[in-house]
Amino acid sequence: MSDDKNAVTISVLSEDPKEKKGNEKRNRDTESLKLSEEDERIKSQVELLVTRAGDSNPALAATAIQQLIELLRTHTGGSMASVPKPLKYVRSMYAQLEKVLKDTTDASAAVRLHDVLSFVAMTIEFPEGRRASLEHKLQGTQDDLAEWGHEYLRFLAGSISAEWKERAGKAEGVNHLTGFVQQIVSYMVSHQDEPTAVDLLMEVEDINAILPLTDSHNYRRIASYLAAVSKYLTRPMDTAALRAVYDVYLKMESYNEALFVALQLGDRGLVRNLFEKCHRAALRLQMALTCARYRLYLEMDNEEEELLNEAMGNMRLSQLYRHAAGDLDSMPPKSPEDIFKTGMDGQELTTSSDSSFKLVCAFASGLVNCGFGKDTYLTEKNASWPYEQTEIALLRRRPCWTYHLWDHAEGLDKRLH
Residue 36: DSSP 8-state? P
Q: Is residue 69 part of a domain?
A: no
pLDDT in the model for residue 368: 77
Task: Work out the pLDDT band at 300, boundaries 50, 70, 90.
Answer: confident
pLDDT in the model for residue 178: 94
The count of structural domains within the chain is 1
> Would the pTM count as exceeding 0.85?
no
Which residues span the domain enclosing 360?
332-414
Q: Is residue 343 part of a domain?
A: yes
Task: Work out the pLDDT band at 32, boundaries 50, 70, 90.
Answer: very low
Q: How many CA atoms lie within 13 A of 138 on its CB side?
A: 14
**pLDDT above 90 (res 214):** yes
Averaged pLDDT score across all residues of the chain: 81
Cα separation, 194 vs 223, whole angstroms:
10
**pLDDT above 80 (res 218):** yes
374 phi and psi angles, rounded to 5 deg = -140, 140
Q: Is residue 21 part of a domain?
A: no
**pLDDT above 50 (res 236):** yes
Q: Is residue 395 part of a domain?
A: yes
Q: Is residue 352 part of a domain?
A: yes
pLDDT tens digit sequence for 390-404: 554 444 455 555 666
Task: Work out the pLDDT band at 323, boundaries 50, 70, 90.
Answer: confident
Comparing CA positions, the residue from 238, 236, 235, 277 lying closest to residue 261 is: 238
Q: Is residue 397 part of a domain?
A: yes
Q: Please compute the mean of the pLDDT values over residues 374-381 and round it to a whole number.
A: 66
Task: Work out the pLDDT band at 296, boundaries 50, 70, 90.
Answer: confident
CB 60 within 8 Å of CB 72: no
Q: Is residue 336 part of a domain?
A: yes
Instruction: Please state at what angle helix 37-53 crosses helix 94-103, rounded to 10 degrees.
Output: 20
**pLDDT above 60 (res 264):** yes
**CB neighbourhood size of 228 (10 A):** 12
**Burial (Cβ within 10 Å: 0-12, 13-18, ≥19) of residue 109:** buried
Residues in the chain: 417
Q: Is residue 382 part of a domain?
A: yes
